[in-house]
């Protein structure tokens, strides 16, 4: 009796493991297809000369309601591509090529969340090596502060929250940043200094809140490149 139960248990466990792998592969494939569809044929828009926004998810592709924010960006007449952290860095050359051919200032804008913020800074460094400017970079809860914001970034708005002892754990925190060049308009906004409701916000839901999306869009539109040149209203 017991050997039979053991064999049956092992069979069920193998089936569950196989299904888990299949689900994981499907999730990764879906995320890659979203990225591919948005990168060079921005979703819901015809190809045209318009400011482009690169959006970078957190670790493992985590960013609840990122599509909602992307829709808001596109409603402002901009094009959007959504990336995982590693993919954004790896495809820096393709991003630069796309923006040179399809944006008014041959430049790019970036919105990133959590670990995606750190990837965004590395992406900016690579774009700087290619001679490309970043008109604006909006960061939500940067988890590390090892790298300074490079000099090719014209405007950087970094939203973060100080959480006391929890700041020792990168996965729970947001940190202020420094710019490597004084030409960068660098703004570190601690959560309590904004209109966001601090009591209801954590590191894991801050990027999905409608109030956060409204703030991000406000900052994105305050500093960007349109046909008549680059402007910053900060």
Q: What is the pLDDT of residues 76-91, one digit of tens each?
A: 999 999 999 999 999 9
How far out from the chain centre does Cα 3 lie? 52
Q: What is the mean pLDDT of residues 127-137?
A: 95
Distance of CA 100 to the CA centre of its chain: 20
What are the distances in angstroms from CA 88 to CA 55, 180, 182, 222? 9, 21, 26, 24
Q: Nearest to residue 31, comparing CAs of 96, 95, 81?
A: 81
φ/ψ (deg, to 5) at 132? -110, 140
For residue range 37-55, what is the model confidence (pLDDT) as tens digits? 344 444 444 456 788 999 9
Is the pLDDT at 34 greater than 60, yes or no? no
Q: Where are the beta strands (DSSP E) in the chain?
A: 52-56, 79-83, 108-113, 134-140, 155-160, 185-190, 223-226, 229-232
User: Which is more confidently placed, 229 or 208?
Assistant: 208
Edge to edge, what strands does the sheet with 185-190 contain?
A: 79-83, 52-56, 108-113, 134-140, 155-160, 185-190
Average pLDDT of the chain is 79
* pTM strictly above 0.85: no
Measured CA to CA, the distance from residue 105 to residue 229 in angstroms comes to 7
Residue 112 has pLDDT above 90, yes or no: yes
Task: Calculate the dihedral angle through the C-alpha atoms of 150, 155, 159, 164, rounding to the nearest 10 degrees.
Answer: 50
Mean pLDDT, to the nearest integer, of 92-121? 93
Percent of the chain exceeding pLDDT 90 equals 53
Superfamily of domain 49-232: Alpha/Beta hydrolase fold, catalytic domain (3.40.50.1820)
Per-residue pLDDT band for 162 (boundaries 50, 70, 90) equals confident
Task: Considering only residues 14 and 52, tell me which one the structure prediction assigns the higher pLDDT.
Answer: 52
């Amino acid at each position: 009796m017991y050997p039979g139960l053991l064999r049956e248990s092992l069979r069920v466990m193998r089936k569950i493991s196989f299904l888990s792998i299949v689900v994981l592969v499907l999730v990764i494939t879906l995320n890659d297809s979203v990225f591919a569809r948005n990168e060079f044929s921005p979703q819901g828009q015809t190809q045209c000369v318009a400011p482009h926004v690169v959006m970078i998810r957190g670790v493992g592709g985590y960013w609840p309601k990122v599509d909602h924010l992307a829709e808001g960006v596109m409603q402002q007449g901009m094009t959007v591509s959504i990336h995982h952290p590693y993919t954004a860095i790896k495809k820096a050359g393709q991003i630069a090529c796309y923006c040179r051919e399809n944006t008014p200032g041959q430049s790019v804008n970036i919105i990133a969340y959590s670990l995606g913020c750190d990837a965004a800074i590395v992406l900016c460094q690579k774009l700087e090596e290619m001679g490309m400017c970043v008109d604006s970079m909006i960061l939500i809860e940067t988890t590390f502060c090892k790298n300074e914001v490079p000099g090719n970034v014209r405007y950087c708005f970094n939203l973060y929250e100080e959480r006391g002892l929890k700041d020792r754990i990168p996965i729970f925190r947001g940190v202020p940043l420094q710019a490597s060049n004084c030409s960068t308009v660098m703004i570190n906004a601690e959560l309590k200094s904004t209109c966001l409701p601090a009591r209801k916000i954590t590191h894991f839901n801050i990027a999905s809140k409608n109030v956060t999306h409204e703030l991000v869009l406000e900052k994105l539109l305050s500093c960007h490149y349109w046909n008549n040149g680059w402007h910053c209203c900060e």
